[in-house]
Structure 1
Amino acid sequence: MPGTIGTPIGLAWAGMNPDRDEERIIRAYVQLAVTQWEAPGFRTVTVARCGALEVRLIEIPEEQRLPDTPWLWLELYSPARHLVIDRCGCTELDESELARAVEFIANARRQIQEIHQEDAASPGGMREILRLGLSSRSHAVPRNPARRSRAHLHER
């Protein structure tokens, strides 16, 4: 898949549950250590896919990190549009951040299920959702989160 480095792990979306989500995130975190850096200077591992969207874990290299900015990002991403729909930043991936990351995946799963239900009722529904974003917090961000100004970064 263009723009994605790293082997997708645990791609079965429909059968996900909180324990399996946590396991997938931990495996992706470990896999980052053996994943090559992409040209713009970050590493990516896909945690899960659902249709045209995927949840991926991104690591920003130390030399590109902004002060007080997370260096790990869990993103809901559209590879077809090269668009980050939503994301959640982490610094240590400790228990509280891991719980927040699991909740991020659960929320993404719920949103995607709603989109697919709306899409079934409206042929242009998915295109419109991707154009506008999943929620009021959703926004397009560049492929390298470290290149954004601090004023535009947000955490959950």
Structure 2
Amino acid sequence: MSGGCQCGRLRYVAEIDGDDAYLCHCRMCQRATGGVSIAFRNVPKAAVTWEHEPDRYRSSPLAQRGFCSACGTPLTFEYDEGQNLDLTVGSFDDPGRFKPTSHFGKESWHEAWLDTSTLPAKRSDEHQALVDKWMNSVGKLPD
């Protein structure tokens, strides 16, 4: 499966076996992404080929995170020791394949955000003011 950052500067191909993924709710992931959790797919490091290596920053004494310094997309979480890394599910070109099978960092999860399926929902293309902004700016809606 292929993936990459929002601006396209960093691209990867990963050999994926299965569709399982997990949500991490730990405070470090919350701070690193600005979200209440992040979806990850754990893979062997050897199963990932990068066109260009991601930028990395040391997020703790034990690990680093890969990201694009041009657009800010979070791409990986990698312990210093070990053969695996986590790829962000949202960075895959087809993230819909993955299904969450577990949670990590339960001590920091926000229960109100775990099941939001009953909340009102709207498609982006149903928000006319946003559609107008995109059409006036670039003549089409984003992918």
Q: Same fold (TM over 0.5)?
A: no
Of the two structures, which has the highest relative contact order with CA contacts closer than 8 Å and spacing of 6 or more? 2
> Larger Rg: 1 or 2?
2
TM-score, normalization: structure 2? 0.28
TM-score, normalization: structure 1? 0.27
